[in-house]
Amino acid sequence: MSGKNMGNKYLHEVAITAIIVKNEKYLITRRSLNKKRFPGMWTVPGGKLETDDYINLPKDTTNYWYNVLEKVLRREVKEEVGLEISNIVYVTSLATIHGDGNPSLVISCLADYQLGEVILKPDEADDFRWVTLKEAKNYQLIDGILDELVMAENQRKGIKVEWQRV
């Protein structure tokens, strides 16, 4: 694997995803067939952190920008599915090394639906469903997403656990 980031073991692509809850159901989307990674599979909305997400903003303290991931997640959800979200909380993290050799770190969050109707960005997703945990099992989810939905459901009941295969 000779990805551009493999020379620096500290450099990862960072993405953040949202398990969005509305009326006890979760939003899942089907990735467009033109996507390089996991085309046609079901997942939850999210996207990658870019330095442009904070570099042109004033720093919150002398040295740091705060709430960067939350801002990225709100932007990505708005762009991908047209929704506004609130109450973003951490669920779990995962890492992978993609076929192109680039390492990725994904931060999975739970968020409440706040406002809007689902409007898909066609190059990102071509279908969506609001599903219960039971209904989610009927979709071809990217491996690990169902386990994350179980975690999110438990977290909403006050049960906090680390990721495990369900």
Query: Model's pTM, two decimal places?
Result: 0.91
H or E element, residue 154: helix 145-156
pLDDT score, position 102:
87
How far separated are the first and last CA of the chain, in Å rounded?
Answer: 31
Give the integer Cα–Cα distance in Å for 40 and 125.
8
Q: Could you read off the pLDDT of 18-60 as tens digits, one per residue?
A: 999 999 999 999 999 999 889 999 999 999 999 999 999 999 9
pLDDT score, position 8:
78
What CATH topology corresponds to 13-156? Nucleoside Triphosphate Pyrophosphohydrolase (3.90.79)
Quick check: 104 pLDDT over 80?
A: yes
Domain residue spans of the chain: 13-156
Measuring CA to CA, how many Å separate 159 from each of 46, 101, 111?
A: 24, 36, 16
